Amino acid sequence: MKKKRLEITDKAILETILKESEICRIAMVDNGMPYLLPFNYGYKNNCIYIHAALTGKKMDVLTVNPNVCFEIEQKAEIVKRDLACRWTTTFRSIVGYGKVEIVTDFEQKNRAMEIIMTHYGAPPEIVHFEEKHLRSVVILKLPIDSLTGKQSSNWDTVDHDHQAFGKP
């Protein structure tokens, strides 16, 4: 990383970003060209879980090459100031690499869907899936091989809980 002072090395912060963020972007390689898609996801035990359609371009691409790069941002906001040259962005994000595995076992698919739903706050008592629904989706499991984090130099100066973003 070029700007070491922006690197997040605290594993607890990296875990927080993985657990509290909402969208995971996955970059794949399709015939030598990048192919990037956003996904809802769940995270547990160093693995990202995604549900997707059984067929389609992403499945075709991942079948040929399951190696991916992913990006997750916890928050990114433009901070507006009185002069254009003082505007900045406040952000906290991670980038990682891994190899996607396709989950076929029914119980593992069920558990992955539970992880995804509870990631977004669904109470465990309502998280139940009919067999026909689980059979109609594919679960992508992405064990994280490597991970780096980065945050803006102004991250600690913004009151994130009170939505101070965007104020001069």
Q: Is the dihedral of CA 121, 25, 65, 48 positive or negative?
A: negative
Structural domains in the chain?
4-155 (2.30.110.10)
Q: pLDDT at position 131, please? A: 83
Q: How far apart are CA 103 and CA 99, in angstroms?
A: 13
Residue 29, helix vs strand vs coil = strand
- CB burial string 127-165: b at 16+ within 10 A, e below: eeeeeeebeebbbbbbebeebebbbbeebeebeeeeeeb
Report residue 47 as tokens: 């693995």
pLDDT, tens digit, 9 for 90 and up, residues 30-58:
999 999 999 999 999 999 999 999 999 99
Q: How far apart are CA 148 and CA 96, in angstroms?
A: 6
pLDDT, tens digit, 9 for 90 and up, residues 80-125:
888 888 787 788 999 999 999 999 899 999 999 999 999 998 887 8
Name residues whose C-beta falls within 8 Å of residue 54's C-beta, 6 or more positions apart in sequence.
136, 137, 138
Q: How far is CA 143 from CA 5, 100, 151, 162, in A?
A: 27, 7, 23, 34
Residue 14 has pLDDT above 50, yes or no: yes
